[in-house]
Structure 1
Amino acid sequence: AVVVADQPEANVRLAGCCTPVPPDEVTGFAVRGGVVTVHRVECAAVTRMKGLGRAEIAVHWGDTTEFRVTLVAESFQRPHLLADLTEAIALEGVAIVSATVEPPTQQRVRHTYTVQLPDAALLPNLMRAMRDVAGVYDVARP
C-alpha cells in the first residue's frame, strides 16, 4: 500500500501491530532513521505514543493496489479446520503470506493469518467467508 506522509521524501511503513488498509483512518509517528510508521488511529500503540508525548505526523492514503492485513480466527478444535480455513481464504482470491496456528487450549484454537489482498474492498467478504467455516466463531484484526 502506498501511504503518503505530509513530509516530502519521507520513507513510510505500515505498522505490523494493526496492519492498516484503506479506508482505515490512519496516523503516523516518526521512528529511527526518519521512517514514518503508519497506524490505525484506534491502535493501542497510538494511545501509548501519544501518552509519551510523541508528535503525530499527518498521513493519508495515496494510490494503492495491493494490501497486507493480519487476521485472527478463533475457533473450536476439529479435524481439517486448517484446510477448510485456507480453502475459504483461497476461494476469495486472497494469497496467504504467513500463517500461525497456536496449540489448542480447552478445545479452542487461534489461527493468525497475514494475507495479501488484491483490493482492500475484499476484506469484509474475506472475514465473512472465514467466519462461515464450521467451528470458527470469530475473525478480527488484531
Structure 2
Amino acid sequence: RMKGTERREVGVRWGDTAECRVTLFAESFGRPHLLADLTEAMAGEGAEIVSATVEPPSQQRVRHTYTVQLPDAALLPGLMRAMRNVAGVYDVSRAQGPAG
C-alpha cells in the first residue's frame, strides 16, 4: 500500500543482538595508571564506556562508576572478571535497576 503512494522504501533489519547497557562499580586501591589500565581492560572485553565517574581517593581507596554498552549481554561476566584482574581492583559489582 505504501509503494502505491510513491513513498520511498527504507530498509530495516531486526537482528538477534542482545546489546546490554549496564552500570558497574569498581573499588580499588589508588595507584599510578590505574584508570588507564582499567579502561584498557574494559575496552579489551568489547565494552564501550558511555560514562565514567572516579571519586577522589579516600584512605587510598578509589570508587569508580562506569556505564558501559556491550554488544552482547553474555560478555558481562568476562568484563567484570577482566576488571577484577586489574592490579589494585578488589571488587566489581553491578548496579541494581536500569542503567543510566
TM over 0.5: yes
Instruction: Tell me, in whole angstroms, the C-alpha distance in 1 between the residues paired with 2:86 and 2:58.
Output: 19
Aligned twin of 1:80: 33
RMSD: 1.0
Aligned twin of 2:50: 97
Percent identity over the alignment? 84
- Structure in which a larger fraction of residues adopt strand: 1
| 1:1-142 matches, cutoff 5 A | 65-142=18-95
Instruction: Tell me, in whole angstroms, the C-alpha distance in 1 between the residues paired with 2:71 and 2:57.
Output: 31
Q: Structure 2 length as normaliser, TM-score?
A: 0.77
* Alignment deviations for residues 75-129 of structure 1 (CA, whole Å, 9 cap, x no partner): 0000000000000000001100000000000000000000001000000000000
* Alignment deviations for residues 2-53 of structure 1 (CA, whole Å, 9 cap, x no partner): xxxxxxxxxxxxxxxxxxxxxxxxxxxxxxxxxxxxxxxxxxxxxxxxxxxx
Q: Is the 8 A contact 2:51 2:67 kept in 1?
A: yes
Runs of 4+ in 1 over 3 A off after TM superposition: none
Higher relative CO (Cα under 8 Å, sequence separation at least 6) belongs to: 2
Aligned twin of 1:57: none
Deviation of 1:64 after TM superposition, in Å, equals 5.0
Q: Is the 8 A contact 2:17 2:71 kept in 1?
A: no
Q: Structure 1 length as normaliser, TM-score?
A: 0.55
